[in-house]
Amino acid sequence: MPYLFILPCVLFCLILLLYPVIYSLTLSFRQATVDTFVSGDMPFNGLTQYQAALADPVFWRAVIDTVLFAFFSILFQFSIGFLLALLFQANFPLKNVCLALLLIPWVSPVLTAANIFKGLFNEAGPINQIGHLIGLGPIPWLANPAYAFPATIVANIWIGFPFNFILLYAGMRSIPPDVYEAARIDGAHYWQRVAKITLPMLKPVSVAVLMLGTIYTVKVFDLVWIMTGGGPANATHLLSTYAYQVGFSLLNFGEAAAIATLMVLLVLLLNLVQLLLRRA
Amino acid sequence: MNPFEALSRWWITAAAVVITAILLSPFYWVLLGSFMTPAELFATHIVLIPTHWAVGNWSEAWTRLWPHVRNSLIVSAATSIGTLLFTAPTAYSVNWLKPRGRQALFSFMLVTQMLPAIVFVIPLFIVFSKINLVNTLFGLILADMTFTIPFALIMLSAYMKDLPYELVEAALVDGASQLRAFFMVVLPVTLPGLITVGIFSFLIPWGDLIFALSLITEGGLQPLTLELYKAVGQYGIDWAFLLPGSVLTAIPAVLFVIGASRFILAGVTRGAIK
């Protein structure tokens, strides 16, 4: 009986999860382009796809941008989430309403957020309209690579802060109040209590939040694909959008699969770095 | 712990409301902007309230989007139900009936959460092309389930762990089969968890772009997100269509958050903290 209960799920996993993962890995060692895809035989050609990806400057730019994108997104998502979580430790009227509303950016489809920020950062959009009030000229946010990349990060921070907020909020709630009370009686100020009690006792939750944040942020695709499409001039690609472009626009599935494998290695590496930083 | 012990709770309320309003201001813009003409939307000076409510934006967007809304509803509902059918018995069995290999299954699910979508998109596109599942809603549902199943199993497992197993044992002692006990006891008791996971398994395909973009090229089968994605770029951006459409896309999520924020909160924090 135990096996009957898990059988459908196991079959699904084997056919639609494990098989594609193995397929993707083997594809990265094959020449899979338009010609070979149509004829059906995708010949093995070793590390050629990996060499092609690693020799491409756009790939390296995408690697650096993926890391920067993850770093700044998580830095701000976590900070905003942490401060909100602190504020919401107090009980006040409308708290549950505010809490529910603050979840909306995170549960809404990414497409909605992407289109909103495409509008906000439009050359004639609200951000420049407000800039105009204080005498700034219009800035072509999404047309200029130097601005387009930070603009996508701002949008991603907005999408991700609620997730950090609710997890840190729940983590803080599970700290027993008498610990704070004891510190307060001993004369610790509010921020001293935050630094000496909240932060250390929240560490397991923070670690989980940061790890999940890293995994989710490296995977971001829709947001950047809709906001900039990796452009202008391939300047705002993340590895996800670059791999997609190589696969579905340039129809080089072998190289796209190789980039996908390299992405997985990057996620592992980033989590390893975090682990080492925590140990140190 | 109250951060501002000296301040009254009314001040804290005011602060929280103002901060919430600021953080949600992008929604204010898209919501009111969906009733503006492009000229008003992108005027030199910011317009906070539309001077003439352009209700036509909405009716035109709705006419154009309805067939795609229907596609999205079909795909999301089927993905959600399918996901629960596959994962509910598994989450129960893995936690209480202890089949061999459950650790491997669970670890594999965790690992797939780390993999970027592109790892699945390319193989599914190639394989589905060969077996004629490209340009079918069924193919898109299967693809979306590769997102929802690992996530749902991990989340449901946390709920199943809290199941009071004595209830199941009592039913077994009374002569019920495992299967009967599962339907009559396990499912009703874990209903809040099933609802939460069901909601998320609906919202994930509802917002999906990458699978629809890769697997559905036939206009009539395209879900809502894809129709809106296509509205950008070809002939500039049609904001009078894009903004109401973007709001429309967010409606299920907003409804679920307002109706079930307690469930969502419990579900998300459970999975990550345990």
Q: Model confidence over B162-214: pLDDT tens digits? A: 888 999 999 999 998 988 999 999 999 999 889 989 999 999 999 999 999 99
Q: Please check the confidence at residue B24 and state whether its pLDDT lies above 50.
A: yes
**More reliable by pLDDT, A66 or B234:** A66
Beta bridge partners of B172: none
Domain contains B216: yes
Q: Do A166 and B243 touch (CB under 8 A)?
A: no
How confident is the model at residue B274, as a pLDDT?
A: 47
Q: What range defines the domain where residue B156 resides?
A: 56-273
How confident is the model at residue A117, as a pLDDT?
A: 96
How confident is the model at residue B269, as a pLDDT?
A: 66
Q: Give the residue on A whose Cα is nearest the Cα of B214.
A: A248
B241 neighbors B30 (Cβ within 8 angstroms): no
In percent, how much of chain A has pLDDT > 70?
99
Average of pLDDT values for B106-120?
92
Q: Please check the confidence at residue B54 and state whether its pLDDT lies above 60.
A: yes
Lowest mean pLDDT among B113-127, B200-214, B252-266: B252-266
Instruction: Give me chain B's average pLDDT, please.
Output: 90
B263: closest CA of chain A, how far (Å): 11
Q: For residue A23, which residues of chain B lie inside 8 Å, CB to CB?
A: 123, 126-127
B62: closest CA of chain A, how far (Å): 16
How confident is the model at residue A41, as a pLDDT?
A: 75
Domain contains B126: yes
How confident is the model at residue B3, as a pLDDT?
A: 57
Q: Please check the confidence at residue B268 and state whether its pLDDT lies above 80.
A: no
How confident is the model at residue B8, as a pLDDT?
A: 75
Closest to A167 (Cα-Cα) out of A110, A194, A207, A109 = A207
Domain contains B219: yes
Mutation target to probe the A interface, by most A beta carbons within 10 A, among B45, B114, B248 is: B114
CA angle B132, B202, A166 (to 5 degrees): 135
Q: Give the residue on A whose Cα is nearest the Cα of B139.
A: A16
CATH fold of A32-279, please?
A: MetI-like fold (1.10.3720)
Tokens coding A105: 């950016």
CA angle A228, A128, A139 (to 5 degrees): 60
Q: For residue B35, which residues of chain A lie inside 8 Å, CB to CB?
A: none
Q: Do B253 and A104 touch (CB under 8 A)?
A: yes
Exposure string for B195-209, b = 16+ CB within 10 A, e = fewer: bbbbbbbbbbbbbbb
Q: pLDDT class for B16, splitting at 50, 70, 90?
A: very high
Number of domains in chain B: 1
Domain contains B24: no
CATH of residue B214's domain is 1.10.3720.10
B61: closest CA of chain A, how far (Å): 15
A224: closest CA of chain B, how far (Å): 12
Q: Do A21 and B120 touch (CB under 8 A)?
A: yes
Average of pLDDT values for B10-39?
93
Q: Do A219 and B116 touch (CB under 8 A)?
A: yes
Size of interface A-B (CB pairs under 8 A): 299
Q: Do A103 and B257 touch (CB under 8 A)?
A: yes
Q: Which helix (H) or strand (E) holds B20?
A: helix B9-33
Enter the ipTM.
0.91
How confident is the model at residue B2, as a pLDDT?
A: 59
Report CA torsion sign: A131, A134, A138, A141.
negative
Q: For residue B150, which residues of chain A lie inside 8 Å, CB to CB?
A: 17
Q: For residue A247, which residues of chain B lie inside 8 Å, CB to CB?
A: 118, 121-122
Cα B39 from Cα B37, distance rounded (Å): 5
Q: Please check the confidence at residue B223 and state whether its pLDDT lies above 60.
A: yes
The number of beta carbons lying within 10 Å of the beta carbon of residue A153 is 21
Cα B24 from Cα B168, distance rounded (Å): 45
Exposure string for B135-164, b = 16+ CB within 10 A, e = fewer: bebebbbbbbbbbbbbbbbbbbbbbbeebe
Q: Give the residue on B whose Cα is nearest the Cα of A268.
A: B114
Per-residue pLDDT of chain A (280 residues; tens, 9 = 90+): 788 889 999 999 999 999 999 999 999 998 888 777 666 678 888 899 999 999 999 999 999 999 999 999 999 999 999 999 999 998 888 888 899 999 999 999 999 999 999 999 998 889 998 888 888 888 889 988 889 999 999 999 999 999 999 999 999 998 998 988 899 888 888 889 999 899 999 998 999 899 999 999 999 999 999 999 998 888 899 999 999 999 999 999 999 999 999 999 999 999 898 888 888 7
The number of beta carbons lying within 10 Å of the beta carbon of residue A111 is 25
Cα B215 from Cα B196, distance rounded (Å): 28
Q: Give the residue on B whose Cα is nearest the Cα of A202.
A: B273
Q: For residue A92, which residues of chain B lie inside 8 Å, CB to CB?
A: 9-10, 12-13, 16
The number of beta carbons lying within 10 Å of the beta carbon of residue A213 is 21
In percent, how much of chain B has pLDDT > 90?
65
How confident is the model at residue A1, as a pLDDT?
A: 75
Residue with tokens 């010949």: A43
